């Protein structure tokens, strides 16, 4: 099923013409209304009147996460604040978060793009859709909520209820589609087994999962544990939230909503545009957003584009699933975090040496973070076990408070974390999947 056949299956040349018109309108708007873009275009001598084809996009400068942080909170907005009806933001607890604004029209488009995601997975007005994403500054809860309402499904905003409550809802409210991170779906699957609830006792048929990287093998595990068909979907706060790209029943790459964003893949170092099939950094230009338009935004996500047309009939280009990041950002239970944010907290805690290792595992299907932290000489001499335990708890609490991630902290003797070449520590060891 295709939610918006007219746009999702457009002839390529018509789509490119539409993209160009929308791009030109966006460039005019940002040049007039966003000081950052006026300055960066002027600095590079870009004449927006000369952008006459999608191929000219490469003349435009990139926008980075740092540019967005520096414009905190509202400097990137391209409309007067009275026209903004919604604000979301990234977590960014240490540096400035990235704050995004939506106009009423942006929200309407967002809902229709998420409606495409759901419809492509076969979800209809007959479905009971349980949304186990946080409803808050994070875009997952509200984004899916509006999309699911748009297609007329019965929406169950279970949000961050405890997992046992989620399972009760799944069973009693006859949920037929689950929306969450893939890690959370696996966690539910593991607990169902523990509680000896057979998936056939549920009504669940589909799962739409995203917000963090996952693999084909994790898909197979989730499908087996929950007896569902699992679909991937991709998005990011800066561009919109969920609704940027989604799988169709072929489940071979994610269709990008190209009538609303232009996608490029560039070499992460030279920043030269790459061709189909070549892996590099995803870059998005929004072409319909009013509140928070973005020109050539570097996502840090690694993927490649698939040239071949899809059997589903959509002409929207497909991107492969995300295979990694250009930076060291990690995602723990859907929370994006940079090791540097953890390091800053550790360094701030008196008594910790700056030698630590972050170990990511899966426990009962859920992401678990353990931090092995070397004691400073000072703390090592303070060998009262109770004091050390208290210190471990304090570090864990502070990480939870500031980053929203539960971490087990484990103090280890000085010089016991293995150094690799040059005495360097491997900071993050990811044992998930
Ligand atoms: O995660 C938006 C979203 C919500 C997408 C719900 C899908 C479902 P952020 O919190 O800004 O926004 O995180 C965006 O998460 O740059 C990727 O690194 C990662 N990511 C999102 N979806 C996927 C996916 C939301 N399907 C960052 N596969 C992105 C791999 C993903 N990584």
Distance 413 CA to ligand 1 centre (A): 37
Q: For the chain, what are the domain ranges? A: 1-326, 330-430
Note the pLDDT of residue 383: 61
Give the confidence band of 375 by pLDDT, cuts at 50, 70, 90: confident
Give the confidence band of 249 by pLDDT, cuts at 50, 70, 90: very high
What ligand 1 atom has the least distance to the C-alpha of 321? 28
In the predicted structure, residue 379 carries a pLDDT above the cut 90:
no
Residue 23 CA, distance from chain mean position: 24
Note the pLDDT of residue 224: 96
Q: Domain 1-326 has what CATH class?
A: alpha beta
Of 235, 240, 268, 333, the one to substitute when testing ligand 1's pocket (max ligand atoms within 8 A of C-beta) is: 235
Average pLDDT over residues 373-394: 77
Distance 211 CA to ligand 1 centre (A): 3
Average pLDDT over residues 323-352: 87
Which residues make Cβ contacts (< 8 Å) with residue 253, sequence separation at least 6?
247, 306, 310, 318, 319, 320, 321
Q: Which CATH number fits domain 330-430: 3.40.50.10860, 3.30.300.30, 1.20.1260.10, 3.30.930.10?
A: 3.30.300.30
Residue 62 to residue 294: CA distance in whole angstroms:
9
Of 236, 321, 324, 335, the one to substitute when testing ligand 1's pocket (max ligand atoms within 8 A of C-beta) is: 236
User: Residues lining ligand 1, judged by CB closer than 6 Å?
Assistant: 90, 133, 138-140, 210-213, 232-237, 241-242, 299, 301, 322, 331, 336
* Nearest residue to 144 via CA among 170, 173, 165, 119: 119
Secondary structure class of 9 (helix, strand, coil): coil
| Residue 156 contacts residue 131 (beta carbons within 8 Å) | yes
Tens-digit pLDDT profile for residues 87-122: 999 976 567 899 999 999 999 999 999 999 999 999
What ligand 1 atom has the least distance to the C-alpha of 254? 26
């Amino acid at each position: 099923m295709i939610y918006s056949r007219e746009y999702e299956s457009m002839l390529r040349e018509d789509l490119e013409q539409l993209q160009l018109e929308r791009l030109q309108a966006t460039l005019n708007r940002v040049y007039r209304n966003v000081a950052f873009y006026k300055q960066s275009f002027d600095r590079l001598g870009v004449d927006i009147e000369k952008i006459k084809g999608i191929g000219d996009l490469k003349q435009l400068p990139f926008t980075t996460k740092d540019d967005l942080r520096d414009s905190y909170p509202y400097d990137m907005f391209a409309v007067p604040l009275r026209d903004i009806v919604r604000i979301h933001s990234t977590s960014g607890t240490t540096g400035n978060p990235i704050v995004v604004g939506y106009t009423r029209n942006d929200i309407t488009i967002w809902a229709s793009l998420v409606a495409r995601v759901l419809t492509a997975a076969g979800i209809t007005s007959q479905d009971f859709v349980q949304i186990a994403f946080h409803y808050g500054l994070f875009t997952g809860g509200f984004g899916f909520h509006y999309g699911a309402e748009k297609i007329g499904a019965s929406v169950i905003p279970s949000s961050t209820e405890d997992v046992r409550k989620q399972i009760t809802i799944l069973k009693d409210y006859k949920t037929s589609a689950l929306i969450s991170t893939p890690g959370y779906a696996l966690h539910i699957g593991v607990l169902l087994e523990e509680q000896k609830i057979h998936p056939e006792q549920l009504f669940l048929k589909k799962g739409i999962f995203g917000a963090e990287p996952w693999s084909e093998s994790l898909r197979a595990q989730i499908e087996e544990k929950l007896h569902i068909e699992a679909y991937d979907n991709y998005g990011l706060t800066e561009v919109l939230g969920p609704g940027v790209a989604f799988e169709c029943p072929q489940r071979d790459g994610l269709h990008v909503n190209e009538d609303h964003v232009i996608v490029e893949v560039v070499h992460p170092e030279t920043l030269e545009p790459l061709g189909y099939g070549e892996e590099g950094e995803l870059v998005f230009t929004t072409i319909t957003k009013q509140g928070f338009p973005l020109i050539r935004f570097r996502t840090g996500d690694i993927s490649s584009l698939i040239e071949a047309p899809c059997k589903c009939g959509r002409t929207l280009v497909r991107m492969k699933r995300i295979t990694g990041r250009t930076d060291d950002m990690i995602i723990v239970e859907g929370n994006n975090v940079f090791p540097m944010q953890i390091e800053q907290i550790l360094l701030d805690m008196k008594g910790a040496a700056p030698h630590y290792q972050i170990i990511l595992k899966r426990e009962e299907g859920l992401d678990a973070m353990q931090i092995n932290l070397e004691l400073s000489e000072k703390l090592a001499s303070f060998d009262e076990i109770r004091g050390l335990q208290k210190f471990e708890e304090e570090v864990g609490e502070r990480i939870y408070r500031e980053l929203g991630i539960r971490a087990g902290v484990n103090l280890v003797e000085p010089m016991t974390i293995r150094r690799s070449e040059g005495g360097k520590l491997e900071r993050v060891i990811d044992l998930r999947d």
